[in-house]
Amino acid sequence: MGDSLRRVPAWAWLVGIVVASSLFRWWHGRGMVAPFIMVDELIYSDLARSLASGDGLEVRGEPYLVSLVYPLLLAPVYALFDSLPDAYAAVKVVNAIVMSTAAIPAYLLARRVLPAGLSLLAALLAVAVPSMAYTGTVMTENAFYPAFLLVGWALVRMLERPTPGAQILTLALALGAALIRVQGIALVLGVLTAPLLLRRALPRYAPLYGIAVGGGVLVVLAQLARGSDLSSLLGAYAVVGEGGYDLGQVLRFLLWHAAELDLYLGVFPLVAFALLLVRARALDPPLQAVLAAAGSLSVWVLLVVSTFASQFASNRIQERNMFFLAPLFLVALLAWVDRGAPRPRVAATVAAFVLGALPALIPYERFIETGVKSDTLMLLPLWELQDRIGLDRIDDVVLAVGLLAAVAFLIVPQRYALAFPVAGLVYFALAFPPIQLGRPNGLEQASIGALFQGIRAEHRDWIDRAVPDGAEVAIVWTGRPDRFTVNLNEFFSRSVGPVYVTDLGVPGSLPETRVEVDERTGRFRPPVRARYVVVDGSIAPDGRVLARDEGWGLALWETSGELISTTSVTGLYPNDTWSGREVRWRRLRCRGGELRVALSSDPTTFRREQLVTAYTGVDTVVTARFGPAEQATLAVQLAPRRGVCEVRFRIERTVVPGGGDSRVLGAHFNAFDYREP
């Protein structure tokens, strides 16, 4: 049996790894029922749909540049499937295949310094990393991961044999990665820096630096000729290039990101990498090239990511933007094992204990929050552990485990050194359940929660099902329902077009139009010309209802062509469902009917039962009582007076929550649902 397995060619094993990984990721991707990394997933799906329809790179009908290659990759899917839920399922299949191909460049990279067997283990480790869970999301990570490893392989190859062709190929691949996501610029910097680390044959890199300098000058001149800043080259991320960074904050985030990368890898790979660096000059040239490539790319990626996070994501560690470095260090670990696992006493002791303790420097109380579900997956197992053991702080556990790993690294005999990469494989496997399947914080639960926040109708494409083919549906967002009611309905229904807001914008800074309603006439300023429109119950257009999302109180209306609101609601706080002491609902052109109001309280704010009383002005009084953790529906029969129906709601108990919030809070008015007689 053993001889038969050894006779299987390496390429067959590699194909098997890619296929097995693709099937595994596809299977688990089925549990992802909706996108939850907003607005990123919406942007990439919109760009792909726009390309598929021949409109270029657009979001909500306006030019939007954040990625070219990934939308191009997905565009055929959106051209093939009319149903967006079906297209979403197909996108996850594409993601599973594309991201699993990372095993191929990982294998090619490892083969520069390792025999075939260990190179296959490197390929397996590359598709076992926790961030492979992003195959269930519509994110550029799916394309960037294999692209990065391809750049890494080309860079090592270039450092070994710096021919003009190898230099041009490596630089082209790095620039191609930047077309997947702007962060690829860090790879260009890494490619330009790596030869300097080896400090040999630098004149042979004249083509590389000549092309880089010449291209840079041409770009600067082109921007000057257009009268544009260099930061505009970053597209939607232009704000990142406007400066204003604090050096101290950047250095803190650099430390935390390095510590999280150490945590992500499980300590051993970084310790092995450090020990190889100590004796780098005595190593064979191919391994020196791997170390130079890994060091150069890692420094630039960590620096760029930390700088960005220090100003634009100060509550998160951006693991999502650096996890792709992992295979470089895993290959270094395998190379260290293959070369006899040398452990110079002083260097090994210092490296093991410093890097074993490094993850404990992360302020977990700051970073373990909902953002880790999208950005810092390796904190999800710690979050689950913290909840299970009931500790306020997880630092001590991380420190203890890190120091145990350091001791293990120092005492395991050299002949068993292969146990370290195998332990890494087990480590990744143990991280998978809490990351993918964990309750309540795993990615599947995040996806289910996002769908609940955005769509509660039976079908995710309920809007498309209710309008004719080719129809355009506008959405008016008042800030009362969750922002996901806009984002997910856009994601799953092709017919959804322009977005209008009556107060603050939908989070995400995408193109939208702000409008106001004239309470006397019900007309919008500027006019909203839409035959079909989705609104919540605080707006009732002059028209007829075609479909409803009962859970959110959303309705799809057909109008005469111009949106005129016959309904107004006052007494709710902007972009919120909280009321004060009184709420008023008023409808013009009213012929009676029934108003159903979905109410709830909040156990963190109230301890006693709430009472809401509705007055119609004609001696009709309806009440609803509900506890702090309960929901209620208040049904009010309407009686028009001169064509106007009006309901006043009085909230018995109010509270000022404090902590900087001076609002007087009463109850949540989650939805208004008007039914004609």
Q: In sequence order, what DSSP letters do the residues of 196-265 get, joined into one string?
A: HHHTSSGGGGHHHHHHHHHHHHHHHHHHHHHT--GGGGGGGGGGGGG----HHHHHHHHHHHHHHHHHHH
- Give 487's DSSP letter: H
Q: Which of 447, 475, 501 is the last residue of a domain?
A: 447
**Cα–Cα distances in Å, from 595 out to 266, 535, 537, 586?**
58, 16, 9, 11
Residue 238 has pLDDT above 80, yes or no: no
* Distance from C-alpha of 640 to C-alpha of 584, rounded to nearest angstrom: 15
**What letter represents residue 194's amino acid?**
A
Residues 608 and 514 in one domain: no
Closest-CA residue to 63 (of 577, 592, 511, 576): 511
Q: Which of 506, 541, 565 is the last residue of a domain?
A: 565
**What letter represents residue 399's amino acid?**
L
Residues 405 and 508 in one domain: no
* Distance from C-alpha of 64 to C-alpha of 46, rounded to nearest angstrom: 10
**pLDDT tens-digit series, residues 516-562:** 988 778 889 999 999 999 999 888 888 899 999 988 889 999 998 88
Residues 25 and 47 in one domain: yes
Residue 250 lies in a domain: no
Percent of the chain with pLDDT over 70: 96
**DSSP-derived 3-state class of residue 184:** helix
CA geometry: angle 127, 129, 135, nearest 5 deg: 70
**What letter represents residue 518's amino acid?**
D
Residue 236 has pLDDT above 60, yes or no: no
- Give 578's DSSP letter: B
**202 - beta bridge partners?**
none
Q: What is the pLDDT of residue 3?
A: 66
* Distance from C-alpha of 71 to C-alpha of 69, rounded to nearest angstrom: 6
CA 50 to chain centre: 21
Residue 424 and residue 269 in contact, taking contact as beta carbons nearer than 8 Å: yes
Residue 251 lies in a domain: no
**What letter represents residue 438's amino acid?**
G
Cα within 13 Å of Cα(192), Cβ side: 14
CA geometry: angle 214, 216, 218, nearest 5 deg: 70
Residue 453 and residue 484 in contact, taking contact as beta carbons nearer than 8 Å: yes
Q: What is the pLDDT of residue 126?
A: 98
Q: What average pLDDT does the structure give for the chain?
A: 92
Closest-CA residue to 528 (of 568, 557, 558, 500): 500
Residue 23 lies in a domain: yes
Residue 524 and residue 559 in contact, taking contact as beta carbons nearer than 8 Å: no
Q: Who wins on pLDDT, 232 or 168?
A: 168
Residues 460 and 411 in one domain: no
Q: Who wins on pLDDT, 616 or 272?
A: 272
Residue 449 has pLDDT above 80, yes or no: yes
The pLDDT-based confidence of 215 (bands split at 50, 70, 90) is confident
Residues 480 and 604 in one domain: no
**DSSP-derived 3-state class of residue 190:** helix
Residue 322 lies in a domain: yes
The pLDDT-based confidence of 41 (bands split at 50, 70, 90) is very high
Counting the structural domains of the chain, the total is: 3
Residues 354 and 380 in one domain: yes
Residue 27 lies in a domain: yes
Closest-CA residue to 605 (of 668, 652, 552): 668
Residue 74 and residue 138 in contact, taking contact as beta carbons nearer than 8 Å: yes
Q: Edge to edge, what strands does the sheet with 645-651 contain?
A: 567-572, 579-587, 645-651, 610-615, 621-626
Q: What is the dihedral angle through the alpha carbons of 559, 560, 561, 566, rounded to the nearest 10 degrees? A: -60
**pLDDT tens-digit series, residues 588-639:** 888 889 999 999 999 999 999 999 999 987 666 899 999 999 999 999 999 8
Q: What is the CA radius of gyration of the chain?
A: 29
Residues 39 and 124 in one domain: yes
Closest-CA residue to 286 (of 230, 224, 331): 331
Q: What is the pLDDT of residue 642?
A: 87
Report helix angle 285-312 to 326-338, nearest 10.
Answer: 150
Q: What is the dihedral angle through the alpha carbons of 370, 375, 380, 386, rounded to the nearest 10 degrees? A: -60
Residue 237 has pLDDT above 60, yes or no: no
**649 - beta bridge partners?**
583, 614
* Cβ neighbours for 345, distance < 8 A, ≥ 6 positions apart: none
**pLDDT tens-digit series, residues 466-523:** 999 999 999 999 888 899 999 999 999 999 999 999 888 899 989 999 999 887 788 8
The pLDDT-based confidence of 231 (bands split at 50, 70, 90) is low
**What letter represents residue 523's amino acid?**
R
Tokens 């769509």 map to which residue? Answer: 455
Residues 573 and 561 in one domain: no
Give pTM, 2 decimals: 0.91
Residues 580 and 603 in one domain: yes
* Distance from C-alpha of 646 to C-alpha of 569, rounded to nearest angstrom: 10
For residue 351, give its domain range.
2-238+256-447
The pLDDT-based confidence of 390 (bands split at 50, 70, 90) is confident
Closest-CA residue to 103 (of 129, 118, 122): 122
Mean pLDDT of 262-274: 98
Q: H/E element holding 274?
A: helix 268-278
Residues 482 and 433 in one domain: no
Q: What is the pLDDT of residue 496?
A: 97
**613 - beta bridge partners?**
623, 650
Residue 243 lies in a domain: no
Residue 206 lies in a domain: yes
Residues 70 and 203 in one domain: yes
- State the CB neighbour count (10 A cutoff) for residue 363: 12
Structure tokens at 426: 């087990």
Residues 423 and 572 in one domain: no
* Distance from C-alpha of 217 to C-alpha of 80, rounded to nearest angstrom: 42
Which contacts (CB < 8 Å, 24+ apart) does range 230-239 have? Answer: 234/182, 235/64, 235/65, 235/66, 235/182, 236/64, 236/65, 236/66, 237/66, 237/182, 239/312
Residue 380 lies in a domain: yes
Residue 373 has pLDDT above 60, yes or no: yes
Cα within 13 Å of Cα(524), Cβ side: 24
Q: Which of 447, 482, 511 is the last residue of a domain?
A: 447
Q: Which burial class, exposed, middle or buried, applies to 335 when counting CB atoms under 10 A from its CB (0-12, 13-18, 19+)?
A: buried
**579 - beta bridge partners?**
572
CATH code of 635's domain: 2.60.120.260
